[in-house]
Chain A
Amino acid sequence: MKNQILILLILFFVLILLPTFTPSAYLYLIGLSLIFAVIVVSWDLMVGYTGQVNLGHTAFVGIGAYVSAILQLPLRIGFFWEIHPMIAILFSGLFSALVGLGIGIVTLRLKGYYFSLVTAILPLVFMQKVFIWREVFGGEEGFSIPAEKIVFATTIEKYYFATFFMFISMLIMLYIVRSKIGLRFKAIRDSEELSESLGINTTLYKILAFFMSSFFAGIAGAVFVNYRLTVSPDLYDIPLMLLVILSAVIGGLGSLIGPLLMGIVVYLAKNWWLTALRWGMINEELVLYVILIAVAIIMPRGVYNEILERSRR
């Protein structure tokens, strides 16, 4: 699939050139949408390639976000030495991945629906810690990182940071799915029994996929925090999870580039275009959920795959 790299490169150059003719208020939103798109793609890495439906991806986004925020403001837990934001971001990805590893070892050795059921409750469980240790995690409001503790201050710097982050993460993930490991993931998705009988350790590779997927989710969460400078429980929340699933599924599971593009579109639609639809009691979330139900019923295989199919006919 040389196409995927090509599309990614074109997107990257468009994004690089974008600031020359786009006002910075829009750039800010576009940068956020790129980080969101990485979350979507990392979900696809697990779900689209190994076929295990992870319903708690935002738990890892939230863990990454809070770990990075705490590491950059260690006084909140009583430590004095600070960590450079870049190291904090990498470390929070690792931390998320380790949590994923633990959950994966327990649930992924079982076949069937256990993995989905357990991951489904993770965001709600981890969100509770915010309310239990209110003075550390800041409750519903979350807390913000003071401007002098961050690397990128201006919108344009942040925008380029998000763009490069997206580009590098995409390259790594594309490399993973095209390697031998990615091939084994796909084998597990297509037939678990067959891959087991061919000598693939299916449990190991499912856990590996979950580990990597959680790693990128954690890093994206940490970048999110460094981008908008506040951390709050909405990064855990179920509506965000639904938005991730929606973008990946409409974009076409198991293609990485489809979910990336759709992630950008969906995020901008929700936070920019659909806000124009506010009218009386109706807000953009109601509209989004109704569209979502309609699309899922009309095009059950995803817009990307459906269009591909129809154009072939």
Chain B
Amino acid sequence: MMDAIEIFVFGTAMGGIFALLASGFSLIFGVSRVLNFAHGVCFAISAYIAIFLVKEMAIDVYSASLVGIIFSILTGIIVYFLTKPIRNNIVMVIIVTLAFALLIEQILLLSFGNRGLTLKPFVEGIQVIYDNLRIARIRILAIFIAILVLILLEIFINRSLIGKRIKAVSQDSEASMLIGIDVEKVLIVTIGISSALAGIAGILYAQIFNIYPAIILRVLIYAFAVVILGGLGSFQGSILASFIIGYIFVTTMKTLGAQWSEFVMLLAIVGILIVKPTGFFGVKE
């Protein structure tokens, strides 16, 4: 019972983090049909910048995280400009974003080393919920932050003008151009928002787990699992799928050990593709 509650809380926190990461990946794909392999860079760069500022510059963790997220957005903008001339060539987009991700991974490796680093959490300490059920406070806070950001994102996309334009472009890019939407502007805003989401996810992740340079590519496994389960390009689908993947991840970690999580993710993906290939809310290509 205790285990079940712990898995539930921890899994929800991880699900929230995956949701922040994958919804951004999915948004970019929806708007521009770009498979952004550099999305993990936005995830890692915010955490590394924040860790650096807290440790070396003695800046408080909130402002450091903010600066980190700004760096994520800048990374997203760089990716936008790198992929702009080759956007309709899927292989080239993959090469450029993958090469960019590996480049940043090398730079992080050379400047921070290979060992795992953690960011000082927003709140320290352990919440005793019941007798021997203790949960680190940051995990509970991470759930609230993630859900708050996701709600804000949902409101932004459905209510604001630019949000509606993002929706329009992801439904039909050419028709949106015809009715006078500046598709490039929408795209740059989408990439900015998505990178910020990945940045927030990275900050939360680094407060719960270790972060290391190779995570730039590793974290994409979870993002892909979420997108395939939820259906490519579907926002609601990826949110729901994130939490399922979060619970699967935590359960695997508690029962088999962390090194099995990649295998279980592959099995989950293959299982989904056999049973329901388009995911929960998949859109037709």
A interface residues (Cβ-Cβ under 8 A, vs B): 47, 53, 55, 103, 106-107, 109-114, 116-118, 120-122, 124-125, 128-129, 131-132, 238-239, 242, 245-246, 249, 253, 281, 283, 285-286, 289-290, 292-293, 296-297, 300-301
| Chain A, interface SS category | helix
B interface residues (Cβ-Cβ under 8 A, vs A): 35, 37, 82, 85-86, 89-92, 94-96, 98-100, 102-103, 106-107, 110-111, 217-218, 220-221, 224-225, 227-228, 232, 259-260, 262-263, 265-266, 269-270, 273-274, 277, 285
**Interface contact A249-B269, CB-CB below 8 Å:** no
**Interface contact A113-B35, CB-CB below 8 Å:** yes
A125 to B261 Cα, complex, angstroms: 9
**Interface contact A114-B273, CB-CB below 8 Å:** yes
Knowing A110-B277, A246-B95, the reply to whether A286 touches B106 (Cβ < 8 A) is: yes
A112 to B29 Cα, complex, angstroms: 12
**Interface contact B90-A53, CB-CB below 8 Å:** yes
**Interface contact A116-B273, CB-CB below 8 Å:** no
Query: A110 — nearest CB in chain B belongs to which residue?
Result: B277
Query: A117 — nearest CB in chain B belongs to which residue?
Result: B224
Knowing A112-B232, A128-B259, the reply to whether A55 touches B102 (Cβ < 8 A) is: no
Partner of B217, one of A113, A124, A128, A301: A124
A169 to B124 Cα, complex, angstroms: 60
Knowing A117-B228, A249-B95, A296-B92, the reply to whether A289 touches B103 (Cβ < 8 A) is: yes
A126 to B220 Cα, complex, angstroms: 15
**Interface contact B221-A117, CB-CB below 8 Å:** no
Chain A residues in 8 Å Cβ range of B269: 118, 121
Chain A residues in 8 Å Cβ range of B95: 242, 245-246, 249, 292, 296
**Interface contact B99-A120, CB-CB below 8 Å:** no
**Interface contact A293-B228, CB-CB below 8 Å:** no
A55 to B98 Cα, complex, angstroms: 10
Cβ contacts A to B, 19 pairs, < 8 Å: A107-B273, A110-B277, A113-B232, A116-B90, A118-B273, A124-B217, A124-B221, A128-B262, A128-B263, A132-B259, A132-B260, A245-B91, A249-B92, A249-B95, A253-B91, A283-B110, A285-B102, A289-B102, A296-B92
- A-B interface pairs (CB < 8 A), number: 120
Partner of B85, one of A53, A111, A300: A300
**Interface contact B107-A286, CB-CB below 8 Å:** yes
For the complex of A and B, 3 pairs with smallest distance between CB atoms: A112-B285, A289-B103, A292-B99
Chain B residues in 8 Å Cβ range of A300: 85-86, 89, 92
**Interface contact B107-A293, CB-CB below 8 Å:** no
A112 to B273 Cα, complex, angstroms: 13
Chain A residues in 8 Å Cβ range of B89: 300-301
Q: Other than the known A121-B221, A238-B102, what 15 A-B pairs have Cβ atoms closer than 8 Å? A: A53-B90, A53-B91, A55-B94, A106-B273, A114-B228, A118-B228, A121-B269, A125-B221, A128-B262, A132-B259, A246-B95, A285-B106, A292-B95, A293-B82, A297-B85
**Interface contact B265-A121, CB-CB below 8 Å:** yes
**Interface contact B100-A293, CB-CB below 8 Å:** yes
**Interface contact A281-B110, CB-CB below 8 Å:** yes
Chain A residues in 8 Å Cβ range of B98: 238, 242, 245
Chain B residues in 8 Å Cβ range of A253: 91
A160 to B109 Cα, complex, angstroms: 38
> Whole-angstrom distance from the CB of A87 to the nearest CB of chain B?
29
> Whole-angstrom distance from the CB of A120 to the nearest CB of chain B?
7
Chain B residues in 8 Å Cβ range of A120: 37, 220, 224
> Whole-angstrom distance from the CB of B185 to the nearest CB of chain A?
22
**Interface contact A296-B35, CB-CB below 8 Å:** no
Chain A residues in 8 Å Cβ range of B221: 121, 124-125
Knowing A113-B232, A118-B273, A121-B224, the reply to whether A245 touches B102 (Cβ < 8 A) is: no
Knowing A110-B277, A125-B265, the reply to whether A47 touches B285 (Cβ < 8 A) is: no
**Interface contact B86-A297, CB-CB below 8 Å:** yes
Query: A241 — nearest CB in chain B belongs to which residue?
Result: B98
Chain B residues in 8 Å Cβ range of A283: 106, 110
Chain B residues in 8 Å Cβ range of A55: 94
**Interface contact A116-B285, CB-CB below 8 Å:** no
Chain B residues in 8 Å Cβ range of A103: 270
Chain B residues in 8 Å Cβ range of A293: 82, 96, 99-100, 103
**Interface contact B110-A297, CB-CB below 8 Å:** no
> Whole-angstrom distance from the CB of A313 to the nearest CB of chain B?
21
> Whole-angstrom distance from the CB of A101 to the nearest CB of chain B?
13
Query: A120 — nearest CB in chain B belongs to which residue?
Result: B224
**Interface contact B259-A131, CB-CB below 8 Å:** yes
Chain A residues in 8 Å Cβ range of B225: 121
Knowing A118-B273, A121-B221, the reply to whether A53 touches B106 (Cβ < 8 A) is: no
Query: B111 — nearest CB in chain A belongs to which residue?
Result: A281
A122 to B259 Cα, complex, angstroms: 15
Knowing A121-B220, A249-B95, A281-B110, the reply to whether A297 touches B82 (Cβ < 8 A) is: yes
> Whole-angstrom distance from the CB of B38 to the nearest CB of chain A?
11
Chain A residues in 8 Å Cβ range of B227: 117
A286 to B104 Cα, complex, angstroms: 9
**Interface contact B266-A125, CB-CB below 8 Å:** yes
> Whole-angstrom distance from the CB of B271 to the nearest CB of chain A?
9
> Whole-angstrom distance from the CB of B251 to the nearest CB of chain A?
17
**Interface contact A290-B103, CB-CB below 8 Å:** yes
**Interface contact A113-B106, CB-CB below 8 Å:** no
A103 to B270 Cα, complex, angstroms: 8
A245 to B93 Cα, complex, angstroms: 12
Knowing A249-B91, A296-B99, the reply to whether A289 touches B106 (Cβ < 8 A) is: yes
